[in-house]
Amino acid sequence: MLTGKTGNLGVMGWPIAHSLSPAMQNAALVKAGIDYVYTALPVEPVHLAAAVAGLRALRFRGWNVTIPHKQAMIDLLDEIDEDAQIIGAVNTVVQENGRLMGFNTDVAGFLAGLAGAGFSLAQKRVVLLGAGGAARAVLWGLIKSGASRVAIGVRHPEKAEMLRQAFAPKASTLGTELAVYHWEEERFQAELAQTALLVNTTPLGMAPRTEAAPPIDWEQVHPEAFVYDIIYTPRQTRFLREAAAHGHPTRNGEDMLVGQGAVAFRLWFGQDPDRALMKETLRAQLTAQK
């Protein structure tokens, strides 16, 4: 029951009605016995600064941030953590005594999916598909977790080259080689043949265009490669179906979504939520949407 003491959280985006975060987070709040409510916050880009000022004044404990506000949010905060600074995007805000602190929990969410599968990145070769906003968080997770080499395969190498250059200093310091290829060139096929992990960060295959997929020649992929698609709707994309048909272990984006939300919950309250309940709630919402 909502009372005059109920605290406030939310997820900010435009549009935002499709978000599954309110269901997940409210289920976790009820289970933890925390008197807060988490709501969707539709904010047009032109009103972003006013919205953030309003949430500060209303003493929201915090909020998540999604498209298209992840980059613009940075300039409206008092402080950001290292992951958000390196990636150039904020997806979680925490308010402490009137100060707004920004974090990026997408990295932890992505790594949670690998941890759940028992996959270690240390000294592994990786092929990363895509060079957009999601790829930035995934690439930083790969670098900080000790991947030996990351080959970025894309349709437009010039965009991926900008990504490579942005992360090159950190990658060099931490011992990760970075390379960029058009995903149809011969050298890219050689990368597929040696990779231990193949990750899709593109929107190809996401609902409603579920029959799209990155142009991977599965005969070229290392037979023991682990295949990870950060898309969670549908649960099994064409990319994952093809991988499974060729005998590869696979993972979808459910654990990443739950993982980033669980880390945000911990930042707000200093305790871990029930991740199993959050995942169960997510799946129930996805089923209801169908």
Q: Tell me the one-letter amino acid at 179.
A: A
The distance of Cα 16 from the centroid of its chain, to the nearest Å, equals: 16
The total of other beta-carbon atoms located within 10 Å of residue 186's CB is 8
- Binding-site residues sit at 19-21, 66, 82, 91, 106, 130-134, 230, 232, 253, 260
Give the residue from 102, 140, 95 showing the smallest Cα distance to 121.
140
The residues facing 153 across adjacent strands are: 129, 181
Active-site residue list: 70
Kind and range of the H or E element at 127?
strand 125-129
For residues 164 and 178, the answer to whether their CB atoms sit within 8 Å is yes
If one counts every other C-beta atom within 10 angstroms of the C-beta of residue 235, the result is 14
Longest dimension (CA), the chain: 63
Residues tagged in the binding site annotation for NADP(+): 82, 130-134, 230, 253
Are the CB atoms for 100 and 78 separated by under 8 Å? yes
Binding site listing for shikimate: 19-21, 66, 91, 106, 232, 260
Specify the DSSP element, H or E, that contains 258.
Answer: helix 254-269
